[in-house]
Each structure stands twice: as C-alpha cells, then as structure tokens.
Amino acid sequence: VIFAIGHGHGAAPLAYKCFRAWMRVADRKTVCACCGGGVRSASARMDADVAAMDKKAERRRIMGQDKYKRGGRPFDGEIHNSVTKKMSAAFKGELVEQMKQSEARDVIKGEGGRQVRFRLAQEYGFCWGVDRSIELAWAARDAYPDKVMHITNELIHNPAVNEMLEDMDVKFIEKTEQGKRFDTVEDGEVVILPAFGASLEEMQLLDSKGVTVVDTTCPWVSKVWTTVDKYTKAERTTVMHGKWQHEESIATASMAGNYIIVKDMAEAEEIAAYIMQEPGCLTDEELLEKYKNAISVGFDPKKHLRRIGIANQTTMYKKETQAIGRLLEKAMVTRYGPEKATENFAAFDTICDATQVRQDAITDMTLGDDAADLEMILVVGGWDSSNTGHLLEIPVHHGKVAYHINKASCIKEDNTITHRNVDGTVETTTDFLPLDRAITIGVTSGASTPDSVVQEVLERVVLLKTLAPDAQ
C-alpha cells in the first residue's frame, strides 16, 4: 500500500509518481505499456484522485523545469543559426522555387509531346510548426552530440525527415503490443517529443526519469489543449473531431477531462441521434462498446453528453469539423431548448491556419478558373499524414484525378505510380502519365513535406517524359 500525503495540486502528481515507482518494481512490462497504443491505454486507468488532478497545472509544473527544453530557441543562438542554414540547404527544391517565383506559379519542362507543365498550389508544404519542430530536434542533436537521444514517435509524418533523424542516431522508441518501450530510456539521456505532442502520462513518466526533454509540440496543438482545459473547468465533455489512434488525438485526450472522439460526420450523426434520443439510436451499451477506444475512463453517455464542447485534431478537414459542430449544436437545442444553448454547447476554432490555407488552396486549384487545364494533381506527403490525406480528398471529391504519394520512388520507370487512396488503401496504377502528348499537372504537398521531396517527385515525372520513346 502506498500513501501520498499532501493536498492541493501537488498531491495527485505525488500519488502518480508513487504509483509509477511501484509499477516499475511490480511489473516492468506494465510500465512499458503505460503510454503505448490507444487512448484507453493501461496507464489511463489510474486512481480517481490522479485522474482528477489539475492537468493544466501539472503540465506547467513539468514544463517549468530546467531539464525541460521548449520554446523558440532553447539552445545557444549559434546552434539555431547553424541549423537554420543546414535546413535551408537540405530541404530546398529548385523546380519548386521556380514555380514560387513565377507569376503563374508554374514551370514548363520539355517540348512537344514530352512537355510537362507543373502548377503549384498557392499554399503548400512545410508549415511554421513543422519547420520549428525540425529545427528544435536538429538543434537538440547538435547541442547534445555525445548523449543518447530518443524520440517518442515520428517527429512528423514524413519518411524523409524521420530517416534523417535516424541518420543522426536519434533512436525511435520501440512500439510493441503492450505499448512503448520506455524502459530503454536511461538517466542522463535526451528524449524528443514530436510535433504532435505527447500524452500527459508520457510527460509524467519522463519527468520521473533523470532525462532532458526537448518538446517540439506544435503551438497549434497546445492551443487545442488550452481549449479542452476550458471545457474541463466548465464541466463540459470534449467532443473531439479526430482519429482516436492518431498521436495528436491521444495527447489531446490525455489533457481533457471527459471526452469522446468522433472521426467523421457519420459518427457525429450517431452521437447527435443519441443526444436527441431519436428512435433507433444507439443504446448506452451500444455506444460504449462502439466507442470504447475513443472515450474517457468512466464515460457515462447519459451524464457526459448533456454539456459539450467541440475541439479537433488540428489536421482534420475544417469544413467537416464546422459541420459536426453545427450538427451537435442543433442536437443540443432540439433536446434541451434554445434557452440553454450556450449552457450546453460551446465551440472554438482549433483548426490550425496552415491546415486551413492548404485546404483552401487545393480547393481553388480544383475548382478555379484554370482547373480545366489540369489533367491530374500530385499530392505529396506521408501516407500516415492526416493533413495530406485531406488534401487528396478535396480534388477526388470533385472528380479530379489525384495521386497521393509519399516519396519519389512511388513513380517507377515502367510508368506506374503507387499511391494512397482516400479510404487509406494503397494501389498501383499503370500508365498513369501520358507519354505521347503534353500535360499539365497540379502540385501540392502536406504541411510536413520538404520541398526537396517534391523536387524529387517532379524530377521523376520529367525523366519519364524525357525518355518517352513515342513522344511527338
């Protein structure tokens, strides 16, 4: 039996540390599982006192320590200046730069039947948050050249960037069926938190170790945490538009009080039907079973869906988030009356600016005045990148041919392209590129995609056109 004596905000964290210490002694395997797979991981089922802690205060306590590195430039200025120059050299793309400088945002390569015109979306590629995250991770490696360094997840959803970190000898913490192998992290080592953030349980576990933490969490993700803090304080349940297994949603859920995560409009409609108690709606038992991986511990739909607040994974499709908010607001008004609308429902815009402007740009490319000229659109970015996936959905929804590829090697010398579909499946399309005539191709990329990766993709297309045997 462990007793943690104290009161106020400090008592729950102390109890949690005692609980973790006992877990390490009692069951090493359980500690490995503590911050692993889904939202409802083993560590989430902690004591009621721990679960009820002021999570915002706990975050601030952890982040306020000298061993916790965060913010714009936590290391020596010369290190950051040097990293900025190295990033510029590593991630630039010549063809991309030419399109950016062109008034029409295009570039033409080849002549006659071998000609290809690339047209770049007005907003695309690296966002400020991703750029910042990479700089912090790279600067950490330069600041601690002799220390063992780990990262709790992919830094961002881009294979080229994560491979770069591996080349820098940054060790990705192993994931197993039981969870992440934090037992491989030793005192005195350095641990990087990715752009998506880390769960509060992970932050507490690392705090209990003698490690230096480098936090590269995107400020837009932190903004969502502030929103769910407000909901918790107001005794609202957070209804999050996101994917429950996504790293960002896991982190945000860990900062919330009561929550439920819905991935799309279809699931939101189920929750709205339950709120209004429409005929044929899910029963309590059915709702709890279906959403068992996407709800807080002890979730009671009758109680916790009376006062709600909308939040989201920052990379979701903004129009869908807004539509979900309107749907659930209408459900609350229908059930409890318009006079209680503000009491029972709240919503804040937590879609990041970078996600929004890239979605607007691909919409304009798909539906704008020059859209008819585009024979296809190449969407470049990680296959597990949520924001890139939504960039694919927009043109496909409007009937445009679009291919989501994660690297240049998806385009083969035999004129095949291996690409991710909207439903997440990956397939290979043959003869995707017309080799006997000129073509105009739209180009965009996800917020975690370097220009250098886009450059490699465009070079592949140019090579195919150049070597075409029957071009006129």
For 45-59, 225-239, 398-412, which range has the lowest pLDDT when averaged over its residues?
A: 45-59
| Residues β-bridged to residue 379 | 404, 444
| Residues β-bridged to residue 69 | 214
pLDDT for position 339 = 95
Length of the chain: 472
Return d(Cα 471, Cα 246) in angstroms, integer. Answer: 45
pLDDT for position 46 = 43
pLDDT, tens digit, for every residue of 309-318? Answer: 999 999 888 8
Return d(Cα 126, Cα 390) in angstroms, integer. Answer: 16
Q: How confident is the model at residue 5 (pLDDT cuts 50, 70, 90)?
A: very low
At 313, is the secondary structure helix, strand, or coil?
Answer: coil
Whether the pLDDT of residue 105 is over 60: the answer is yes
pLDDT for position 468 = 82
Share of the chain above pLDDT 70, in %: 88
Q: How confident is the model at residue 350 (pLDDT cuts 50, 70, 90)?
A: confident
Read off the amino acid at residue 161: V
pLDDT for position 9 = 41
Is 365 in contact with 121 (CB distance < 8 Å)?
yes
Selection from 452, 398, 391, 447 nearest residue 419 by Cα = 391
Which positions are catalytic? Answer: 248
Query: What are the structure tokens assigned to 242, written together?
Result: 């996101």
Angle at 270 between CA 267 and CA 272, to 5 degrees: 110
pLDDT for position 470 = 63
Selection from 124, 96, 105, 99 nearest residue 387 by Cα = 124
Q: How confident is the model at residue 28 (pLDDT cuts 50, 70, 90)?
A: very low
pLDDT, tens digit, for every residue of 316-338? Answer: 888 899 999 999 999 999 999 99
Average pLDDT for 92-110 = 95
Average pLDDT for 50-75 = 88
Average pLDDT for 15-43 = 42
For 13-22, 274-283, 458-467, which range has the lowest pLDDT when averaged over its residues?
A: 13-22
Whether the pLDDT of residue 471 is over 90: the answer is no
pLDDT for position 351 = 78
Instruction: Identify the helix (H) or strand (E) that includes residue 419.
Output: strand 416-420
Return d(Cα 36, Cα 194) in angstroms, integer. Answer: 15
Whether the pLDDT of residue 37 is over 70: the answer is no
Selection from 394, 388, 398 nearest residue 457 by Cα = 388
pLDDT, tens digit, for every residue of 435-454? Answer: 999 999 999 999 999 999 99
Angle at 311 between CA 309 and CA 314, to 5 degrees: 175
CB atoms closer than 10 angstroms to residue 145: 9
pLDDT, tens digit, for every residue of 68-84? Answer: 999 889 999 999 999 99
Mean pLDDT rounded to a whole number for the chain:
89
Is 439 in contact with 116 (CB distance < 8 Å)?
yes
Whether the pLDDT of residue 271 is over 50: the answer is yes
Q: How confident is the model at residue 353 (pLDDT cuts 50, 70, 90)?
A: confident
